Amino acid sequence: MDSVPLFEREHRNDSQLVQRLQNELADAKRFVEAQARRQNDLEYVNEDLERRLEQEALDRITLDAQKAEDEKRWQQEKAALQEQLKSWEARFEEETRRRSMAEERLRRAEKELYRMHQKKYDIEKQVRREESEKRKHEAVIVRSLPSARRVLAPDQVRFYP
């Protein structure tokens, strides 16, 4: 080794050092480029996530507003239906009361008709009985007339209207 001059030996060492430093520099450059690409990718992902988050927030605000409107509308419909229910209940009570009154009037009218028919039949029965008795009595009178004429003189027989 003594045969190689010092300057060349140093030059070789320097060239090896330069080569090693150039390799390290190239590795560092590749690492920086990879990190820059990764940073760009992460920034893209971050921007995408921020955009999505903002959209989700807007959607959420819209949904909350729609929910509030729907809730208000449902409360109004509920109140209207409750009023309608009260109205129908009042109408039902009124109709029930009217029906009850009509049933009571009908019951009374039926009783009155029954009494009237009963009275009519009782009167007809009594009239038939009286007519029957009258016919029997007339028949008795008619049968007794010839014998009474024999017993009584014609000037003694009087008919009363």
Q: What is the pLDDT of residues 142-151, one digit of tens each?
A: 887 766 555 5
| Residue 157 within any structural domain of the chain | no
pTM: 0.44
Tokens of 23: 């390799």
**Residue 139: inside a domain:** yes
Question: How far, in Å, CA of 113 to CA of 111, rounded?
Answer: 5
Residues 126 and 118: beta-carbon distance below 8 Å:
no
Query: What is d(CA 140, CA 131) in angstroms, rounded to the nearest whole number?
Result: 14
Rounded Cα distance between 20 and 16, Å, is 6
Q: What is the pLDDT of residues 103-127, one digit of tens each?
A: 999 999 999 999 999 999 999 999 9
What secondary structure letter does DSSP report for 155? G
Instruction: Report whether pLDDT(12) > 90.
Output: no
For 122, how many CA atoms within 13 A lie in the half-sphere containing its CB? 6
Tokens representing 42 are: 């992460």
Rg (CA), the chain: 65
Strand ranges (DSSP E) for 58-133? none
Q: Is residue 109 part of a domain?
A: yes
Give the pLDDT score at 161. Answer: 52
Say if 88 falls within a structural domain. yes
In three-state secondary structure terms, 1 is coil
For residue 160, being part of any structural domain is answered with no
69 located within any domain: yes
Is there a contact between 157 and 148 (Cβ–Cβ < 8 Å)? Answer: yes
DSSP 152: S
Q: How confident is the model at residue 13 (pLDDT cuts 50, 70, 90)?
A: confident
> Does the residue 50 lie in any domain?
yes
Structural domain including 142 reads 6-150
Q: How far is CA 86 from CA 76, 78, 89, 97, in A?
A: 15, 12, 5, 16
- Answer yes or no: is 155 within a domain: no
Type and span of the H or E element at 30: helix 6-151
- The yes-or-no verdict on residue 17 having pLDDT over 60 is yes
What pLDDT digit, counting tens, does each position of 132-141 carry?
Answer: 998 888 888 8
- What amino acid is encoded at 38 in this protein? R
Domain count within the chain: 1
